[in-house]
Structure 1
Amino acid sequence: MTSTTLFLLQALVIILAPFILTYIFRLSMYLPPVVVQVLTGLALGPSLLGRVAPGTYEALFRPDALQPLQHVASMALLLFGFTSGMHLQWSSLRERGGALCTISLASLLVPGGLGLLTGIWVLRNYAAAPGPAASGLQFPAGIAICCAVTALPVLAAILRESRLTTTKIGQMALAIAAVNDAALWAMLGALLALSGMVHQPNTTSVTALLLLLPYWAALFTVFKLLIKFIEKHTPEKSQREHLQLTLACVLALGSAVLSEWGGLHYVLGAFVAGVAMPHSAREILLKRIEPLTVTVLMPFFFMSTGLKTLIDTSSPLFTGIFLAVTAAAVLGKLGGVAVAARLTGEPWCQAFALGALTQTKGLMEVVVVTILLDAGIFSRNVFSAVVLMAVLSTCLAMPITRLLLRYPARGASASALSALPSQPEPGRTPS
């Protein structure tokens, strides 16, 4: 079998397997499609296929044949960061005022604080847990970020499939997730910058970091001016959309290159480029980029994630970290959001349902933990434990919400499910 034939066979398996599980076996009725994709990646990796059919696993995914898959996965991750940035709607956050700020802060600080304490506990009890580049509080800070994640794209997909997008609880959950997304990327960028300065204090890296901020600031102006120029001087719609797509990809790649050069992860640069994209061009770009990214490219990322993940329940290191991180993430998000929402006037039923929804982690958590593994802050055992935590917490989100909204308390369910016609349903987001 030639290397090209092997790559095409890998691609066929990677794209077809989650499709069969999602739509033929109807797992989408019980699990978000992104969870099915993650589980498919885990099943095709050493955790399952490598154990039950080692010969097939070795033939399909031997180490020397993985480099092409990794390149496709990197492009998928870059485009995901770009589209995630375009999904942030700052105007909807400003409209919700103090109550949203209080709940959003609690959704970050409570699980993040528990995650920080959990990371310190892991450091004291499992010396092999940190990665080779972790020092000081970098490892606990990474655990804190993982516990604080709420995945905006996956949450939007769950709400859409459950017909909760335009309800009060759905709109509140989306707004909280948007704040989480923005804060997450900022915290992750700061952690990676600190790690890069500590472990690679070279002139090139420092120069690139100094260039990043003015470059990112300029993107907001440059994007707007160039998009207006294209709209003004290109009357034909198809040509205008083609130019906008080319411009967006070029500037996103440039931002990613500079981020990677500066010791940050390239996906951070792509995310900032997405945030900088003018709203007038976002809809058409998302329609063109997102379906290909989600359907064709992201399964390659999940496959590369699955190949790095070894779920070994017999290992005290894996089991201990998984249980500790899951408890911190689920209880911190559920309790922190519920108490904050209750203090701002929401009924307990709706407050806990909001906490259940915002513990959705899915794809965003897998992205974050992959970045932390690549940066040398997490070891592979911690990586595997956090990936499994992301799958479990995402699977629990909707069943807990449905259970809570099924038992109204003083009109809580009716309030949670009341439609907000003034809030338009967001554009289709990746699942």
Structure 2
Amino acid sequence: MTSHHGDMVQATVLADIALVLVVGVVLLRAARFVRQPAVVGEILAGIALGPSLLGLLPGDLTDRIFPVEARPFLSAISQIGLLLFMFVLGWELDPRHLRGSKRAVAAVSAGSIIVPFALGIAAAAAVYQQHATVAGKQVDFWVFALYLGIAMSVTAFPVLARILADGGLGSTRVGTLALASAALGDVIAWCLLAIVMGLAAAGGGAGGFAAIIGWSVAYVIVMGVLVRPLLGKLTAQLLRRGGAAQLASVIAAGALLSSYATSLIGIHPIFGAFAFGIVMPRQPWRELEPLVQRPLQGVARLLLPVYFIVTGLSVNVGDLHGRDWLDLALLLTVACVGKVVGATFPAKWTGLPWRDALGVGILMNTRGLTELIILNVGLSLKVLDGRLFTVMVLVALFTTAIAGPFLPFLVKKPQADIAPVPAMPRTEHLESDNAPVPSR
């Protein structure tokens, strides 16, 4: 009887994945039809299959289709897709792409982090009392405030790449400046998040936090001094000695082991996958792209839709009451004002016309999957309660959707004599119809 029950749970998981993939494709196409990035459709798919929409229908359909016994399996599957996505994200952040107009990139990156970060901390003071207790435990205010500041500061640079490619703006100064600034800003944001998550994992204790920071520093040193050159040698040998077919499996295993290492340290496994991507060799790119990048992106594309449904199962718009809607209005205003102001004024200071500078600000306001990852980290570490998690998912959805309609009115093709910041062309492949992974 137990064996039959286990078989039924496995069959349910398979059916759930099939349903998620089909609904994801339908809403992804709908998003493209209204000129929205794919991630908007995928977020909506997760919300639609969760308690916010499907759960409102008679028969308790969400719990019947996604029973409690199946959810740990769905979560594990989604984590594999997420970690491979984070590896590719780190690999795409090639520091050489930040060469060129360094002053402009540094200014926009700094402004688009500092301003929303400060406003996020201020907003945290306003909403903290309503969300201070999670799972029966009091959340430390400064952990909560710093976390919310980081959530306000993040930009999803793969989403930018897709929006720019769709609008034919990928080679403009506005597009390349926003893309490079988002890449640099996200590295800083991930580092800050690692520190805050270390605080949360340590429970506010100075000794525990110091241990996590110490082990994290040791991990970074090992990755840079030992793992990076070993990866270079291993990659070269496999390419030279006919082991290229196994290269993607070896690299995927390394990314997962790196994630395991950061979990042992006390910080989220996404940082391990991301760091492994940072130290992964990028040359010879023509050989590594078809052998490693495309296969791993293909797996991520297949599994990431499951991540959206796992997220959607924790989103319940019906649970929001009057004060939560005020929190949504506040946080949405802080998110948009912080990013747009924080990026627009530095862009203007570096020489862009006001309209183009505002285009940079609108682009830097997109959050996409990057924001969802940060929100799920906060939910798993019990920094966010369910209601605030729902509010922040809606903020991520709106700020991602808002860029597309505004850009045609804000961004013009630059004159030929204006030198653009070096583009990041490989990122644009994350969400093309012929590419393995949609942009997030």
TM-score for the superposition, normalised by structure 2: 0.88
**In structure 1, what is the equivalent of residue 128 of structure 2?**
123
Q: Secondary structure at the match of 1:198?
A: coil
Q: 1:31 aligns with which of 33, 36, 47?
A: 36
Per-residue deviation, residues 379-426 of structure 1 (Å, max 9, x unmatched): 111110000000001100121122223xxxxxx654599785974623
Q: Does 1:362 align with 2:365?
A: no
Change (3 A) 1:216 1:241: farther
Residues 53, 285 of structure 1: alpha-carbon distance in 2 compared, 3 angstrom cutoff:
farther
Residue 257 of structure 1 is matched in structure 2 by: 260
Equivalent residue letter for 1:396 = I
Q: In 2, Cα distance between the equivalents of 1:128 and 1:416?
A: 54
1:338 paired residue number: 344
> Could you say which residue in structure 1 is the equivalent of 2:425?
425
The yes-or-no answer on 1:47 pairing with 2:67 is: no
Identify the residue that residue 214 of structure 2 maps to in structure 1.
210
User: Whole-Å Cα distance in 2 between the matches of residues 201 and 312 of structure 1?
Assistant: 39
The Cα of 1:105 is off from its aligned counterpart by: 0.4
Bigger shift: residues 412-421 or 325-334: 412-421
Q: Do residues 174 (structure 1) and 179 (structure 2) align? A: yes
* Partner residue, 1:240: 244
Q: Distance in 2 between matches of 1:222 and 1:413?
A: 43
Match of 1:293 in 2: 300
Question: Aligned in 2, Cα 1:344/1:321: closer, same or farther, shift over 3 Å?
Answer: same
Quote the residue 1:60 is aligned against.
Answer: 65
Tell me which residue corresponds to 2:406: 400
Aligned to 2:435: none
1:91 to 96, 112, 117: 96
**CA shift for structure 1 position 150:** 0.3
Are 2:78 and 1:78 aligned? no
- Residues 232 and 356 (structure 1), Cα distance of their counterparts in 2 relative to 1, 3 Å cut: same
Specify whether residues 33 and 53 from structure 1 end up closer, same or farther in structure 2 by C-alpha distance, changes over 3 A only: farther
How many residues in Structure 1 have an aligned counterpart in Structure 2?
419
> Once the two structures are superposed, what CA deviation does each residue of 1:28-60 show, in whole Å capped at 9, x if it has no partner?
442211110110000000000000244332320
- Cα pair distance change 1:274/1:28, threshold 3 Å: farther
SS at match of 2:324: helix
What is the aligned partner in structure 1 of residue 195 from structure 2? 190
Alignment equivalent of 1:271, drawn from 249, 271, 274: 274
Q: 1:375 aligns with which of 368, 381, 396?
A: 381
Partner Cα separation in structure 2 for residue 215 and residue 128 of structure 1 = 32
Cα 1:332–1:250 shift into 2, 3 Å:
same
Paired residues of 1:168 and 1:417 also in contact (CA < 8 A)? no
Aligned amino acid, residue 255 of structure 1:
S
Q: Distance in 2 between matches of 1:170 and 1:52?
A: 43
Letter in 2 for 1:368: I
Q: Is the contact between residue 149 and residue 181 of structure 1 (CA under 8 Å) also seen in structure 2?
A: yes
Q: Find the aligned partners of 1:110 and 1:421 in 2 and give their Cα distance.
A: 23
SS at match of 1:360: coil
Which position in structure 1 is the counterpart of 2:434?
none
Supply the RMSD in Å over aligned alpha carbons: 2.6
Query: Which residue type is aligned with residue 244 of structure 2?
Result: R
Offset of 1:199 from its aligned partner?
A: 5.2
1:214 CA displacement = 2.5
The gaps in structure 2 that reach 5 residues or longer are 431-437
Change over 3 Å in CA distance of 1:18–1:310 after alignment to 2: same
In structure 2, what residue type is equivalent to 1:44? L
Q: Is the 8 A contact 1:231 1:240 kept in 2?
A: no
Residue 409 of structure 1 corresponds to none
Residue 93 of structure 1 deviates from its aligned partner by: 1.5
Query: How many Å apart are 1:269 and its aligned residue?
Result: 1.2
Equivalent residue for 1:219, pick from 220, 223, 228: 223
CA contact (8 A) 1:168 1:415 kept: no
Structure 1 residue 213 displacement after superposition: 2.6
Aligned partner of 1:163 in structure 2 is 168
Contact (CA 8 Å) 1:43, 1:306: kept in 2 or not?
A: yes
Partner AA of 1:260 in structure 2: S
- Whether the 8 Å contact between 1:83 and 1:286 is mirrored in structure 2 is yes
- Asked if the contact 1:169–1:417 (Cα under 8 Å) also holds between the matched residues in 2, the reply is no
The match for 1:408 is none
Mapped partners of 1:377, 1:256: distance in 2: 21
Q: Say if 1:305 and 1:233 are closer, same or farther in 2 by CA, change over 3 A.
A: closer
Structure 1 residue 318 displacement after superposition: 2.3
1:66 to partner: Cα distance: 1.2
Query: 2-side partners of 1:417 and 1:393: how far apart?
Result: 32
Looking at structure 1, the residues matched to 415 and 121 of structure 2 have their Cα atoms a distance apart, in angstroms, of: 35
Structure 2 vs 1, CA of residues 128 and 321 (structure 1 numbering), >3 Å: closer, same or farther? same
Question: In structure 2, how many angstroms separate the alpha carbons of the residues matched to 1:317 and 1:421?
Answer: 44
Distance 1:133 1:77 in 2: 29
Distance 1:54-1:116 versus aligned 2 partners, 3 A rule: farther
- Name the CA distance, whole Å, in 1 between partners of 2:188 and 2:43: 24
Question: CA 1:327–1:207 in 2, change beyond 3 Å: closer, same or farther?
Answer: closer
Who is 2:18 aligned against? 12
The residue matched to 1:30 in structure 2 has which SS? Answer: coil
